[in-house]
Structure formats: C-alpha cells, structure tokens
Amino acid sequence: MTRLFWWVRTNSQKYLLEAVQADLAQRYLGRPPPVGRPSLQRAFWKYVFVPLYRRLPWNVKHTVIKAMPGSHHRDWSAR
Amino acid sequence: MAREIVVIGGSAAGMGAAGAAKQVDPEARIIVFTEQQDVAYSPCGIPYVHGKEIDSFDRLILQGKKFYEDQGFEIHYETIVGGINTKAHTVSVPAMGDVRYDSLVIGTGFQYERPDIPGVDLDGLYWVRDLRNAERWDQLLDGVKTAVVAEAQPIGVEMATALAHRGIETHLVDPHPWAMAEIADPDIMAPVEESWRELGVNLHFNTRLEAFLGTDKVRAVRTSDGEIAVDAVVMGTKKVPNNRLAAEAGLKLGSTGGIIVDQHMRASAPDVFAAGDAVEVPQGFTGVPVQGLSGSHAYAQGKVAGSGAAGKLRDYQPVYVPWGLVGGKWMIGGVSFGEALAGALGIPFVLGIAEGISRARYYPDFKKIRVKLLAEPGTLKLIGAQLVGGEGVKERCDFLAMAARKGLTLHDIAWMENVYSPAMGALNEPMALAAQNGLSKAR
C-alpha cells in the first residue's frame, strides 16, 4: 500500500509540475515544454489526470492530498 | 545500568542525534555506525572544493576522530548495519552480531535517483556524496577535459558551476526548460543561466539523457539532441530517501518514501527515532509532508531525535523550508512555494515582484536582487518566496521563512522597518517593494 501511495504522489507531482513548467517556460523564456519519453502511462497522467486535477478547487485537492498517509497524521500538535 | 543508544548514520542527522543524546544523558553508551570513513563533515562543501573556492577537503571536517573518542562516543567506521529488529531491540552488524539498543536513531540519509537508462553502472560516473570519494575524484578531475553534468537538480547546479570554475568544458543536460525546474522559477534561474554562459558552460535544456556510452568507462553521453564525448559524468539527479533498512524493519513510510515521524521524531516502532533526509515532515502551510531538505534541517531533527532517544522529548515543528545555493555568480534561494510548485499543486496565490539593490546605489559593489513573494489571496499571508541576487539572499530567506511561520502578511512586509546603511543596505528594502507590488495587484 505504501508503494502505491508513493507511486501516485511521485507521478502526480511529476506531471503536474511538467504542466506548469510548460506554461512558465512559454511565458518567461519562450521555450518549449519539458521533454519526456512517450508512453501510455505518460499519456494518462498528462492528458487525463492533469486536466482533471486542474478543474478541482484547491480545498478539494488539499483534502485529497492530506488524506494520503504520512507524518502529518501523527501528532504535531505542538505547532 | 547505562542506557544504550544506537545511531545509524554519521552525517548531520546522526551526529546531531549522538551529540544531543550525550548532552541529555552523559552516562549513556552511544554507539554510532557509519558506512563511511569519517563522521561530522560537511558534504555540502564538496562542490566548492572541486571548484577551488575552498583549498582542502580537510576544511570540511568539523571534528577529527580523536575528538569523538575523547567525548566517549563509540563510532564504528566503514560498518554496514544489516538489519533492525524492532521487537528484540537489536540491530545486526555482520562483524559484531546483534547489538542491543534501548533507543535507536535512524539517520540513513539519501541516495541519488538512478536514471533508468543504459550505461548507468559504467565507471566514470561521479555520484557526489562522501568525502573520500570526493578526494579521489578531485584528483581525477585534474585529467578531465570535458564533462557532462547529468540533470540540473541542486547538486547538478553546484557542480556545473564548480567544473566551469575549474576550467573543464562543461555540458549541463536536463529535460526541463530551465535548471532546478521543480524548485525554482524560470525568472529566478535566468541570471544564473546567463552567468553560466559567461563561464563557458554549454546548456542543453529540454534535452533527455538516453544512454551513457562506453565499454568499462563512460566515453560519451547520448541525449535526445545528439552525442557528447566526455571524460567524466557528474550525476546531478534528485535525492531520494535511503530507507531500505527502515522498510525491511517494518517501519511505516509515507507517500514521499520518507520514514513517518511525529513531532518528537519518533518513528512507528517503540523507542525508534529517525531524522534527516530519511524522514518526511509536514510543510507548515499545507500540512502536506515533504522530504529531502537541507543539512540544517537534518541537524536540527537529529538533535530532537537524539534528545528523545536519551529520555527527554523535544518538539520539532512543521517546516517552511528556507533554501539557498550558488549558481554561476548568483545566489538563489527561496521559502516553501514558488510559482512552479504552487502552480503545480493548484494553490491560489497573489504575486508581488520587485528588483532592488543590496546596498546604497552610490556604494561600491552593490548587487542586484530580485524578490518574488507569494501570498494567500484574501488573507495575504505569505506562503512562499523566491530570490536571486549577488548577496543578502540567505538572510532574507531565513527572515521570510520565519515571516511565513508566524503568519505575516504582505501588509506587514510592505511597511516593515529595515536597516539603511550605505555599506549594508539600501533605502528601499527589496522585500518591502515586492510586498507593495503584491498589495497593488491584490486590490
């Protein structure tokens, strides 16, 4: 299960970053987006996951992200 | 009977833990296992020795072996721990058998992500990590005419600068459109790129690594843009937690791959603590765990873990991640989120940007500084910052991290008091100008 959450976070982070890097590269530098090796997995994250994620409001995204396992579910009440 | 505290790892987290444990319980028996030949040195300084800014690797060593012996630490150098049994409270060490602990601190650090491409096991690929290997490589670099830095993560940025300072023909290859694209924004890295070009670094952005070519030793790098003949490759890939031991021991890992800990740096098994690059801790604004921070984070976490291991629980806090490094002739840095990371997560923000100077405009050698602040819409609380400048970046990042921790807003920063002294600071503080710019956009 740990491996699954790691896989989801690693891939979602990578492709969400790539999408915003594409926007910023164009806006600030006039450069093309990051290059990646074409694959079915890449196509899924890029063309299905990223557009869906971007449609959600931040509070929904935040709730989903925080539901993943991690140190934040342990006691950090001294903050 | 003296408490027995075992520490795995002799870097910032491990030695921070050992030192704190000794302070709390001077009678404790503290046993440190490290795979390396040294403890308590600064690996972060290695690129600067390669770049000849620092004249010797010895300068990176904080204390010699004798110091730790005299302090009563039992340090086992070049010793690999084979496993952890959290039920029996033992670690297994091939040469020693099972070693019992009352408390255990895991500070196993990081390893570099290995690109999944052919040739990654060839000789001639330099993974910058430990001091002795760096010394060996420093001699080898004397004979290197051309090198590729494979990926522009922070260590890649520092090593590209170091190799160029050394006069080596340097090629920086990265699939992203700019360097450190997962952390820094393109406008922050633009001056760094310009100074790399001045130093003669060949930049290959939007370029994928496809293979390291050679029979035993690397002789070329194949990229999506062609082949580059090389004498050596410096690996500048991402750091990932080195958590094989923790995972095999059944400790819980989070979505970052880091060991799950609480505010006392306690892992998920009794009497086991963990710290440094091996763990994940919550980010202050989002609460989302992050991993792979700086040496100062590792050291502070180690202190908390070591204190707890010796019987006195202390609290670590969620992080706001001030960071900084040198790229080309510029200092770059930030706090928590830039446009790239906030944009990727989908965190809404108001942006304030300003360019200022580090000293009075008439004082010699004043440096430009660009400050970018990100604030939460509505409350205008600071959630992130990015900076590039010739000086004064570190101090501003430290201040802005504390400002974010304490919930300061653009209003607070826009009209902050600042030191004005021609040799030290300009009339207009660049952070205040950036906040004023953000306020005018938020209206």
Residue B142 has a CB neighbour count (10 Å cut-off) of 8
Q: Is the pLDDT of residue B15 over 80?
A: yes
- Please tell me whether the overall predicted TM-score, pTM, comes out greater than 0.90 for this model: yes
Gyration radius (Cα) of chain B, Å: 23
What is the C-alpha separation between B3 and B125, in angstroms, rounded?
Answer: 43
CB contact under 8 A, B288 and A36: no
3-state SS class at B218: coil
Residues of chain B contacting residue A76, judged by C-beta atoms under 8 Å apart:
262-263, 282, 317-318
CB contact under 8 A, B186 and A24: yes
CB contact under 8 A, A54 and B190: no
| From B29, B35, B42, B44, the catalytic residue | B44
What is the C-alpha separation between B150 and B138, in angstroms, rounded?
Answer: 18
What is the C-alpha separation between B257 and A10, in angstroms, rounded?
Answer: 9
Q: Is the pLDDT of residue B41 over 60?
A: yes
Confidence of residue A77 (pLDDT cuts 50, 70, 90): confident
What is the C-alpha separation between B30 and B19, in angstroms, rounded?
Answer: 9
pLDDT 10s digits, B371-404: 999 999 999 999 999 999 999 999 999 999 999 9
CB contact under 8 A, B288 and A70: yes
Longest dimension (CA), chain A: 46
Residues of chain B contacting residue A56, judged by C-beta atoms under 8 Å apart:
346
pLDDT 10s digits, B412-425: 999 999 999 999 99
Chain A interface disruption, residue of B176, B239, B273, most A CBs within 10 A:
B176
Active site residue B44: yes
The B74-76 sheet, strands edge to edge: B74-76, B29-33, B4-8, B103-106, B272-274
Closest partner residue to B255 (CB to CB) among A32, A36, A68 is A68
* pLDDT value, residue B40: 82
Residues of chain B contacting residue A36, judged by C-beta atoms under 8 Å apart:
175, 208
CB contact under 8 A, B255 and A62: no
Confidence of residue A3 (pLDDT cuts 50, 70, 90): confident
* pLDDT value, residue A79: 52
Residues of chain B contacting residue A77, judged by C-beta atoms under 8 Å apart:
263
pLDDT 10s digits, B337-377: 999 999 999 999 999 999 999 999 999 999 999 999 999 99
Question: Tell me, what's the ipTM?
Answer: 0.95
| First and final C-alpha spacing in chain B | 66
Q: Is the pLDDT of residue B325 over 90?
A: yes
Write down the mean pLDDT value for chain B: 96
Residues of chain B contacting residue A53, judged by C-beta atoms under 8 Å apart:
346
Give the count of Cβ contacts less than 8 A between chain A and B.
Answer: 135
| Mean pLDDT value of segment B23-41 | 94
* pLDDT value, residue A25: 98
pLDDT 10s digits, B211-234: 999 999 999 999 999 999 999 999
pLDDT 10s digits, B104-129: 999 999 999 999 999 999 999 999 98
How far, rounded to the nearest angstrom, does the alpha carbon of residue B275 sit from its chain's CA centroid? 14
Q: At a CB cut-off of 8 Å and minimum separation 6, what does B172 contact?
A: B148, B149, B152, B156, B160, B179, B196, B201, B202, B203, B204, B236
Task: With CA atoms as reference, report the closest residue to B46 among B182, B217, B234.
Answer: B234
What is the C-alpha separation between B343 and A28, in angstroms, rounded?
Answer: 14
Give the dihedral sign, CA B201/A25/B238/B153. positive
Chain A interface disruption, residue of B255, B283, B374, most A CBs within 10 A:
B255
pLDDT 10s digits, A16-45: 999 999 999 999 999 999 999 899 999 999
> Could you give the percent of chain B with pLDDT greater than 90?
95
Q: What share of chain B is helix, strand, coil (3-state, %, to 5)?
A: 30, 30, 40
Angle between helices B12-24 and B295-309 (to 10 degrees): 30
* pLDDT value, residue B45: 93
What is the C-alpha separation between B326 and B390, in angstroms, rounded?
Answer: 10
